[in-house]
């Protein structure tokens, strides 16, 4: 049965892709063996994360990027990861329009994915869905995600390259640093550069990068775009290509993949241990020990020690 699913994925059957992604999203019983076989076919695709604040133009930009990749003979899978959305396929209107445009194109597959409130599982699901798209033969897998917290970090852990989009309103230096974006960005985009302040923000950002960026990887370029008019997109495309060529030639591409591979194993082990640990019996003990307001008198350390000891 799972062999059939795998065959359908490898045959690039988009309806099968959609079904299996829904199962991943809902944690619906796909065995480890399925993922083990899937993985064999999923290491070739380049994975790109596109992140930025709500409304920054991520979808518009992704849409134009899809077109450029297609023109260069590459097939593309897109997952819009929305950590806040509990709905399966809960695409926004703009994303739906995008989807319809490519609905008959076997070289483009677009899907959105929510977290079902289970933020812990989002990193794993994101990576598993990437494996599915890669195994279907997509050359490029793009993750689009709103950068407001954990979501973009989960995505950064799953990709070869992260594009961070800012807009002229994105604010001051401190905010940029606080957001931790500098650590995850391989390329910065100042979108909506038709607005005031785009040049100033690009300059400010370049200064920050110059002084605070570590020497362990190349300084991210800052590219101004007007996604809605398609301006700056060729520069972005070239920037992505150049970054990948650089990273491959200096070995960082592999180092980076290996590091993320290790993290993925670590995450899986942690998740499996937790799943195994929390038997219904232990969950019952937890609710028993915390059933009334009086239980807050007991230290959480004491309760947890008791639960752990009862293994």
Taking a C-beta distance cutoff of 8 angstroms, is the pair 115, 129 a contact?
no
Which does residue 194 bind out of Mg ion, ligand GTP, none, counting CB within 5 to 8 angstroms by kind?
ligand GTP
For Mg ion, the closer CB: 100 or 279: 100
For ligand GTP, the closer CB: 80 or 134: 80
For ligand GTP, the closer CB: 9 or 65: 65
Q: Using CA atoms, how far apart are residues 176 and 240, in angstroms rounded to an integer?
A: 22
Q: Cα angle vertex 278, ends 299, 127, to 5°?
A: 115
Min dist. Cβ of residue 193 to ligand GTP (A): 6
Which does residue 55 bind out of ligand GTP, Mg ion, none, counting CB within 5 to 8 angstroms by kind?
ligand GTP
Q: Using CA atoms, how far apart are residues 291 and 81, in angstroms rounded to an integer?
A: 36
Q: Using CA atoms, how far apart are residues 169 and 146, in angstroms rounded to an integer?
A: 16
Min dist. Cβ of residue 65 to ligand GTP (A): 12
Question: Between 122-135 and 32-40, two packed helices, what is the crossing angle to 10 degrees?
Answer: 50
Residues of this chain that bind ligand GTP (CB under 6 A): 52, 54-60, 92, 94, 146, 191-192, 194, 226-228
For Mg ion, the closer CB: 59 or 126: 59
Cα dihedral across residues 36, 21, 63, 224: positive or negative:
negative
Min dist. Cβ of residue 224 to ligand GTP (A): 9
Q: Which class for 211: exposed (0-12), middle (13-18), buried (19 or more C-beta within 10 A)? A: exposed
Min dist. Cβ of residue 145 to Mg ion (A): 9
For ligand GTP, the closer CB: 55 or 199: 55
Q: How many CB atoms lie within 10 A of CB 14?
A: 20
Which does residue 121 bind out of Mg ion, ligand GTP, none, counting CB within 5 to 8 angstroms by kind?
none
Min dist. Cβ of residue 184 to ligand GTP (A): 17
Residues of this chain that bind Mg ion (CB under 5 A): 58-59
């Amino acid at each position: 049965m799972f062999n059939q699913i795998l065959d359908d994925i490898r045959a690039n059957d988009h309806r099968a892709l959609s079904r299996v992604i829904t199962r991943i999203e809902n944690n619906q019983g796909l065995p480890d063996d399925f993922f083990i076989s899937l993985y064999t076919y999923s290491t070739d695709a380049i994975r790109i994360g596109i992140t930025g604040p709500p409304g920054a133009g991520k979808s518009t930009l992704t849409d134009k990027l899809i077109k450029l990749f297609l023109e260069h003979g590459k097939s593309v899978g897109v997952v819009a990861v929305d950590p806040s959305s509990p709905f399966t396929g809960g695409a926004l209107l703009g994303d739906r329009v995008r989807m319809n445009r490519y609905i008959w194109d076997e070289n483009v597959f677009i899907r959105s994915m929510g977290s079902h409130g289970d933020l812990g599982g989002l990193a794993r699901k994101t990576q598993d869905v990437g494996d599915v798209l890669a195994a279907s033969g997509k050359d490029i897998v793009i993750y689009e995600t709103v950068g407001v917290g954990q979501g973009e970090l989960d995505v950064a852990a799953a990709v070869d390259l992260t594009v961070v989009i800012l807009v002229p309103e994105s604010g001051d230096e401190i905010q940029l640093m606080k957001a931790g974006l500098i650590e995850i960005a391989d390329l910065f985009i100042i979108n909506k550069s038709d607005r005031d302040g785009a040049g100033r923000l690009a300059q400010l950002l370049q200064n920050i990068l110059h002084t605070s960026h570590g020497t362990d990887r190349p300084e991210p370029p800052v590219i101004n775009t007007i996604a809605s008019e398609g301006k700056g997109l060729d520069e972005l495309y070239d920037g992505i290509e150049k970054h990948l060529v650089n990273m491959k030639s200096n070995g960082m591409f592999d180092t980076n993949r290996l590091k993320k591979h290790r993290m993925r194993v670590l995450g899986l082990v942690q998740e499996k241990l937790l799943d195994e640990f929390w038997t219904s019996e232990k969950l019952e003990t937890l609710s028993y020990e915390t059933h009334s307001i009086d239980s807050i008198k007991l230290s959480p350390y004491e309760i947890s020690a008791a639960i752990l000891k009862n293994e």
